[in-house]
Every structure is written in C-alpha cells, then in structure tokens.
Structure 1
Amino acid sequence: MDYTASIFVLVSMFAVCTAVTEDVGVNTENTERCNCPWSVQDFSQLQEEIALLKADVGAIKVSLSEEEIQDNEIPLIENVEGFVYATCKPMPNSHLDSDYFQPITGIINMKQNATGGPLYIDIYMYGFRSAFGSLHGFHIHTYGDLKEGCQSTGGHFNPFGKDHGAPGDDNRHVGDLGNVQPDHQGVVNTGMIDNVASLIGENSVIGRAFVIHSGEDDLGLGGFPDSRTTGHAGPRLACCVIGRSEQ
C-alpha cells in the first residue's frame, strides 16, 4: 500500500499544530500570557490532536517497515531463462596403435536449458577410415584427462552405478550415448537429444570427455564379458574434453 500521501498530510498538520502552539506560547497555569482568543480547552484539545497525529505517523512507519520485510522475504526466481552451452573438439588418440589410427577431428556442441530438461548434442566429425556403414561407440567418460591420450579418461561416466545399456534404457550409464555412423566420405554429421546426461547439477558432464570407439557399441546385449560395462566397443579412436562455452 502507498502511504506517501497520508504521511505528507499528517506531517503537514503536525508541523502546523506544533508551530501554532509554539508561537502562541501556551501556559495553562497562567492564561493571562495568551494574547489570543484561544481558551485553555482549545489548546488542550489541540495538544490531544497532536498526540494522535504522532501516534498515526508512528503506526504508518511500523506498517511500512513490516511491508518492506515481507517484500524482502519473497524468494528470488530460481528458474533462469536461457541455455547452458558446452563444446568439445575431438582429436585422434595419440596412444593408439597405428593399426587402429584414424585421423578423426571435428566439433561437438551441446546445449541445455538452464532449468534442466533434454541435452541437445550436435556432432560434426570427419576423418573416419572404417568401412562404409560401420558403427562406432560414442560415450561420455568420467575424466577430462588426456595425459595418456584417450586412455586416461577412465570408464563410462556412471555416477549411479548402473549397467551399460542403450540411450533409451532405464538401466544405463549417464555416458551411454549409443553409436555414430560415418557416411561414405567418413563424415558424421548428426544430432542427438538425451534425457539423462546433463550440463548442470552435481552430475554435470562438463569437464569430462567424449570418446569415440573403433567398434560398434552392442548396447549391453552382445553377450561378451564387457558388454555390460563398455558395450564391447573396442579401442578408443578419438576423444576430447567437454568445456563450458559462451554459446
């Protein structure tokens, strides 16, 4: 509520009444000093009205203070509009045997609403030399550590201790993103939408690593000893560290 006008009126009346009593020089014990037509009763009533005005002004101040406190208690809006962005530039695995080496490079861009929701992944990579139609496991690994090439990125990012699976499975690693497939020119130009991996929160993938494997991810269904851990996807062809970006 806006008390500005009320305060102005009350303060003005208070000032006028105070000025009148000071100018007149009221002395209720000796009314002969009052050279005006005001009676003792008039001044007593005036003083009572001044006291009431003081009480009203004090009450308005208290009310304003309480409203200010309530306004300060309104929680800030936590849902920030806009997106969080990240990027990653794959490079060939420097510690890979020459028999497996492929000069893979490119860029992987990601974005996610700052309030959460799906993670959008745009992938552009080239330099694949595998047979046309081949599939390559595509995962997020735990560490953004390239001291030993792609070998030091650890296993699939799996903060919930689940088995390896397909991107659409309930039982899957956070880092399980299935496969990518190069075209006849050795280029991967595609997009993904994932509802598990995230750029925000305590399990953010920022600072971790993308890894592209030499073989197909069997999505945990191949029956190999490592199907439920790595998808039996084979050696690591290329990798990159996921970093926060402006857009």
Structure 2
Amino acid sequence: MSAALRLVDLTVSYDRHPAVHHVSAEIPAAEMTAIVGPNGAGKSTLLKAMLGLVPHIEGRIECTARRIAYLPQQAEIDRSFPISVFDTVLLGRWSRFGGFGSARAPDLHDAHHAIEAVGLAGFERRPIDTLSVGQFQRVLFARLLLQDADLVLLDEPFAAIDSRTVADLMAVVRRWRAEQRTVVAVLHDFDQVRRDFPSSLLLARELVAAGPTAKVLSAENLMRARAMAEAWDEQADACDVPMKLSA
C-alpha cells in the first residue's frame, strides 16, 4: 500500500520543548487512519505539523497529496462573525475564486448539494451562530466537500455531537474513502476507531505503534502509551537542536 504521508524522524516543538518527539510513520493512501493517544500526547500538534501550521525542529514530512483539506476543533473557530450557512460552505471554494473573484454557477450548485449531503437542506440562510454544535459540524463537513481534497485532516471531528450526527458524518467519511481519498482523524473513542478506522497511529509524545488498528490498539500498547504519557517530564530542558523547516 502506498503512503499519502511519510513522517521521517519528526520532532515538533513549542519554545524548544518537544510536543512530538522523533516520530517516523507512514499514513496509507486512500485509507482512513486514526491518530489516538492519551490527553496531551501531541495528536493535534502532529496534525497541524502535517499542514505546516506549527514549527518543527527536526526531521521532515513527505506528502503526495495535491490538495489538503483541514477541519480544526470547533473551539478554535469564531462563530460570532455574521455569516450564513451557505456562505460558510461556499468558502470551501475560496482557493478558486479568491477575495476579489465571485462564485460561478457550478460553485453555487455544489454548495447547495453539499449542504443537502450533510442533512442541512433548508438551513442555507441561517446564521452560523444560531446552530447547535452538531449542526455547525455538519456545515464544516459540507465546506470540506467543496474543497475536493486528496487528503482530509480532521481534528476531533465527533467531539460533543449527538450519535445521529456522528453516524451521518461517518457516512461522509466513508464516501471519501470510497472515492480513494485519504482521511486522517484525531479521535478519542477507541470503540469507534476499532469499528470504523482500519489504520491507526498511537502517540504518547513519541510513537508507540502504527499500522492496522487491531494490532495498534492492543492492551499492551495502550498500557505502554499511558505509562509514557505519565512519565513525560514537562519541566525537561529545552531542546538544543537548531530549528529547520520541513523539506
């Protein structure tokens, strides 16, 4: 199986203190991969590193995707801006028409279709600050649909939403896999990971295991990850390796 992403001895840091330490792993192409681990294990940091949103001081990231779509945690999104559901979804095409262009008829059609696909038909003109957490997550998934990306990165996509919304959005994720897109998701629900994600990467600041989920989420690996997370020294000396950008 080919790799969509290859992490080579990757260390990611904040203020020269490693948040992810010397990770080497491959993310299989056209597959659904979960990033799991204890709280503070560096899962979201690793996802952001794949996008170049955080510095890393050592190693490199190799990516074969032509287009990447990213869903941040809802807590990182300001919903107070006065914008409608439709216009939020249409932002998925921002890279095509930019700040001074305008959406074309196919873009408008695709936005309506994406909203229907996530179960929000009739919500097009609703302001996003009037939506529930689950409804807003559907909006964000609709926006991802418009990006038509080869690689989709999801940071805690099912946190604090109801079971029906989880089921509907998982149907979207499976559709991406059927279309040969690569999906990488930071998740906390091990039962869901075992049920829905064939591939996993288990972190505890360092890599514990990567590969088929059934092997990665073994009792032995989970105990090791917990022990590693509890033993991590937050007061350790800063790393002295000079910072360099990824290749």
TM-score, scaled relative to structure 1: 0.21
Structure number with the higher helix fraction is 2
Greater RCO, CA 8 A, separation 6+: 2
Query: With structure 2 as the length reference, what TM-score do the two structures score?
Result: 0.21
Answer with 1 or 2: which has the greater Rg. 1
